[in-house]
Amino acid sequence: MIPAPFDYTRVATVEDAVAALAGAGEDGKVLAGGQSLLPMLRLRLAAPTMLVDLGGVAELRGVRDDGDALIIGAMTTHDEVVKHPLVREHAPLIAQAAETVGDRQIRHLGTFGGSLAHADPAGDLPGVALALDAVMSVAGPGGMRDVRASEFFVDYFTTALGPGDVLVSVRVPKLTGWTTHYEKFHQMAQSWSVVGVAAAVRRSNGSIAEARVALTNMGVTPVRAHGVEEALAGAPATADAVATAAARAADGASPLTDGVASAEYRTHLASVLTKRAVMAAGGL
Amino acid sequence: MTVTEQRPGGEVGRDRRRKEDARLITGRTAWTDNLSLPGMLHLAIVRSPMAHARITGIDVTAARGAPGVVDVFTGRDVADLQGSMPCVWPVTEDTVLPAYPPLALDEVRHAGEPVAVVAARDRASALDALELIEVDYEPLPVVLDMEEALADGAPLVHDAAGTNRCYTWILDSAQAGTGADVARMEAEAEVVVSRRFIQQRLVPAFMEPRSTVVDPTGDQITMWSSTQVPHILRVLLSLGTGVPEHKIRVIAPDVGGGFGGKLEVTPEEFIAFAAARRLNKPVKFTESRSEAMLSAHHGRDQIQDITVTARRDGTVTGMSARLLANMGAYLGIITPGIPILGAFMFGGIYKFPAYRFECTGVFTNTTKTDAYRGAGRPEATFALERIMDELAVELGLDPLELRRRNWIERDEFPFTTAAGLTYDSGDYAKATDRATELFGYDALRQEQAARRAAGDTVQLGIGVSTYTEMCGLAPSRVLGQLRYAAGGWESASVRMLPTGKVEVVTGTSPHGQGHETAWSQIVADQLGVAFEDVEVLHGDTRASHKGLDTYGSRSLAVGGIALVNACRRVVEKAMPVAAHLLEADPADLEFTDGAFRVKGAPGAATKTLADCAFAVFQSHDLPDGVESTLDADATYDPENFSYPHGTHLCAVEVDTETGMVKIRSYVAVDDVGRVINPLIVDGQVHGGVAQGIAQALFEEARYDEDGNLMTGTFVEYTIPSAADLPDLVTDRTETPAPGHPLGAKGVGEAGTIASTPAVVNAVVDALRPLGVADVRMPCTPERVWSTIQAARAANGGELR
Ligand SMILES: Cc1cc2nc3c(=O)[nH]c(=O)nc-3n(C[C@H](O)[C@H](O)[C@H](O)COP(=O)(O)OP(=O)(O)OC[C@H]3O[C@@H](n4cnc5c(N)ncnc54)[C@H](O)[C@@H]3O)c2cc1C
In a domain, B246, yes or no: yes
In a domain, A271, yes or no: yes
My answer on whether B493 and B626 are in the same domain is yes
B665-687 in b/e burial notation, b at 16+ Cβ within 10 A? bbbbbbbbbbbbbbbbbbbbbbb
My answer on whether B410 and B494 are in the same domain is no
Of chain B residues 112-171, which have a CB less than 8 A from chain A? 123-124, 127-128, 131
With beta carbons under 8 A apart, name residues in chain A contacting B123: 2
According to DSSP, the β-strands at B69-74 and B134-139 are unpaired
In a domain, B620, yes or no: yes
pLDDT tens readout for residues B173-216 = 999 999 999 999 999 999 999 999 999 999 999 999 999 999 99
CA atoms of B189 and B316, how far apart (whole Å): 9
Please report the number of interchain residue pairs, chain A to chain B, with beta-carbon separation below 8 angstroms. Answer: 51
Whether residue B5 is predicted with pLDDT greater than 50 in this model: the reply is: no
Per the CB < 8 A criterion, the answer to whether A218 and A126 are in contact is no
> What pLDDT is attached to residue B795?
80
Per the CB < 8 A criterion, the answer to whether B502 and B109 are in contact is no
Q: Where are the beta strands (DSSP E) in B425-489?
A: 458-468
Average pLDDT over residues A235-243: 97
In a domain, A145, yes or no: yes
* Preferred mutation among B657, B710, B759 to probe A, highest tally of A CBs within 10 A: B657
My answer on whether B390 and B250 are in the same domain is yes
Put residue B759 in one of left, alpha, beta given phi > 0 → left and psi -120 to 50 → alpha: alpha
Per the CB < 8 A criterion, the answer to whether B216 and B277 are in contact is yes
Average pLDDT over residues B374-389: 98
Q: Which residues contact A60 (CB under 8 A, 6 or more apart)?
A: A14, A54, A73, A74, A75, A76, A113, A168, A169
Q: Residue B243's CB: how many other CB atoms inside 10 A?
A: 18
| Distance of residue A48 Cα from the nearest chain B Cα, in angstroms | 15
Average pLDDT over residues A239-249: 98
CA atoms of A250 and A269, how far apart (whole Å): 9
As for how many domains chain A has, the answer is 3
My answer on whether A200 and A260 are in the same domain is yes
According to DSSP, the β-strands at A195-204 and A153-155 are unpaired
Whether residue B283 is predicted with pLDDT greater than 60 in this model: the reply is: yes
My answer on whether A19 and A95 are in the same domain is no
My answer on whether B370 and B266 are in the same domain is yes
What backbone phi and psi angles, to 5 degrees, belong to B782? -65, -40
In a domain, A135, yes or no: yes
How many alpha carbons fall within 13 Å on the CB side of residue B285?
Answer: 27
pLDDT tens readout for residues B670-690 = 999 999 999 999 999 999 999
My answer on whether B360 and B231 are in the same domain is yes
Average pLDDT over residues B608-626: 96
Whether residue B7 is predicted with pLDDT greater than 50 in this model: the reply is: no
Residue finishing a domain among A151, A173, A195: A173
String of DSSP letters for B204-253: ---SSPPEEEEE-SSSSEEEEE--S-HHHHHHHHHHHH---GGGEEEE--
My answer on whether B214 and B345 are in the same domain is yes
The CA A34 to ligand 1 mean position distance, Å, reads 6
Per the CB < 8 A criterion, the answer to whether A74 and A168 are in contact is yes
Per the CB < 8 A criterion, the answer to whether A261 and A193 are in contact is no
CA atoms of A152 and A212, how far apart (whole Å): 18
Q: Which residues contact B462 (CB under 8 A, 6 or more apart)?
A: B441, B444, B445, B448, B649, B650, B651, B761, B762, B765
- When CB atoms are compared, the residue of B288, B713, B724 closest to A188 is B724
> What pLDDT is attached to residue B797?
53
In a domain, A80, yes or no: yes
- When CB atoms are compared, the residue of A2, A191, A261 closest to B718 is A191
My answer on whether A91 and A150 are in the same domain is yes
CA atoms of B361 and B527, how far apart (whole Å): 48
Q: Residue B132's CB: how many other CB atoms inside 10 A?
A: 18
Whether residue A269 is predicted with pLDDT greater than 60 in this model: the reply is: yes
With beta carbons under 8 A apart, name residues in chain A contacting B785: 265, 268
> What pLDDT is attached to residue B186?
95
Ligand 1 neighbours by CB, cut-off 6 Å:
A 29-37, 39, 54, 74, 100-102, 106, 110-111, 113-115, 117-118, 120, 123-125, 161, 166-167, 190, 192
My answer on whether A191 and A158 are in the same domain is no
* Preferred mutation among B780, B783, B792 to probe A, highest tally of A CBs within 10 A: B780
My answer on whether B180 and B260 are in the same domain is yes
My answer on whether B297 and B190 are in the same domain is yes
In a domain, A149, yes or no: yes
In a domain, B217, yes or no: yes
Under an 8 A CB cutoff, do A265 and B786 touch? yes
Amino acid, single-letter form, for residue B193: V
Average pLDDT over residues B128-136: 97
Under an 8 A CB cutoff, do A187 and B658 touch? no
Percent of chain A predicted with pLDDT > 70:
100
My answer on whether B415 and B275 are in the same domain is yes
Per the CB < 8 A criterion, the answer to whether B378 and B756 are in contact is yes
In a domain, A58, yes or no: no
Residue finishing a domain among B636, B667, B699: B636
> What pLDDT is attached to residue B30?
87
My answer on whether A77 and A160 are in the same domain is yes
Nearest to B688, CA basis, from B469, B399, B493: B469
According to DSSP, the β-strands at B248-251 and A50-53 are unpaired
* Residue B8 pLDDT grade (very low, low, confident, very high; cuts 50, 70, 90): low
My answer on whether A146 and A70 are in the same domain is yes
My answer on whether B23 and B147 are in the same domain is no
Average pLDDT over residues B429-439: 98
pLDDT tens readout for residues A149-158 = 999 999 999 9
My answer on whether A75 and A165 are in the same domain is yes
Contact B290/A at CB under 8 A: yes
Average pLDDT over residues B453-464: 98
Whether residue B798 is predicted with pLDDT greater than 70 in this model: the reply is: no
My answer on whether B415 and B522 are in the same domain is no
Mean pLDDT of chain B: 96
User: What atom of ligand 1 comes closest to residue A29's alpha carbon?
Assistant: 47
My answer on whether A78 and A120 are in the same domain is yes
ipTM value, please give it. Answer: 0.96
pLDDT tens readout for residues B409-425 = 999 999 999 999 999 99
| Domain CATH for B294 | 3.30.365.10
Whether residue B724 is predicted with pLDDT greater than 70 in this model: the reply is: yes
Helices (H), B545-598: 560-582
pTM of the model: 0.96
My answer on whether B248 and B343 are in the same domain is yes
- When CB atoms are compared, the residue of B721, B724, B782 closest to A265 is B782
In a domain, A274, yes or no: yes
As for how many domains chain B has, the answer is 2
Residue finishing a domain among B603, B636, B669: B636
* Residue A74 pLDDT grade (very low, low, confident, very high; cuts 50, 70, 90): very high
| Distance of residue B384 Cα from the nearest chain A Cα, in angstroms | 28
| Domain CATH for A202 | 3.30.390.50
pLDDT tens readout for residues A104-136 = 999 999 999 999 999 999 999 999 999 999 999
Per the omega criterion (within 30 degrees of 0), is the bond before B67 cis?
A: no
With beta carbons under 8 A apart, name residues in chain B contacting A191: 715, 718
| Domain that residue A156 falls in | 63-173
In a domain, B557, yes or no: yes
Mean pLDDT is lowest, of B341-350, B458-467, B587-596, B754-763, for B587-596
String of DSSP letters for chain A: --PPP-EEEE-SSHHHHHHHHHHHGGGEEEESS-TTHHHHHHTTS---SEEEE-TT-GGGS-EEE-SSEEEEETT-BHHHHHH-HHHHHH-HHHHHHHTTSS-HHHHHH-BHHHHHHHT-TT-SHHHHHHHTT-EEEEEETTEEEEEEHHHHEEETTEES--TT-EEEEEEEE--TT-EEEEEEE-SSTTS--SEEEEEEEEEETTEEEEEEEEEESSSSS-EE-HHHHHHHTT-BSSHHHHHHHHTTTTTT--PPP-SS--HHHHHHHHHHHHHHHHHHHTT-
* Residue B739 pLDDT grade (very low, low, confident, very high; cuts 50, 70, 90): confident
The CA A21 to ligand 1 mean position distance, Å, reads 19
In a domain, A160, yes or no: yes
My answer on whether A223 and A262 are in the same domain is yes
Whether residue A185 is predicted with pLDDT greater than 60 in this model: the reply is: yes
Write out the H or E segment, with its range, that includes residue B319: strand B316-328
Whether residue B1 is predicted with pLDDT greater than 90 in this model: the reply is: no
My answer on whether A238 and A270 are in the same domain is yes
Whether residue B640 is predicted with pLDDT greater than 80 in this model: the reply is: yes
Average pLDDT over residues B54-59: 98
Average pLDDT over residues A46-57: 96
pLDDT tens readout for residues B566-579 = 999 999 999 999 99
Contact B295/A at CB under 8 A: no
Nearest to B770, CA basis, from B790, B791, B754: B791
| Domain that residue B329 falls in | 143-423
Burial of B639 (0-12, 13-18, 19+ CB in 10 A): exposed
User: What atom of ligand 1 comes closest to residue A184's alpha carbon?
Assistant: 8
Average pLDDT over residues B226-242: 97
Residue finishing a domain among B636, B659, B684: B636
The CA A178 to ligand 1 mean position distance, Å, reads 28
Average pLDDT over residues A63-80: 98
The CA A75 to ligand 1 mean position distance, Å, reads 11
In a domain, B270, yes or no: yes
Per the CB < 8 A criterion, the answer to whether B647 and B464 are in contact is yes
pLDDT tens readout for residues B66-113 = 999 999 999 999 999 999 999 999 999 999 999 999 999 999 999 999
By alpha-carbon position, which residue is closest to atom 36 of ligand 1? Answer: A114
Average pLDDT over residues B23-41: 94
My answer on whether A84 and A36 are in the same domain is no
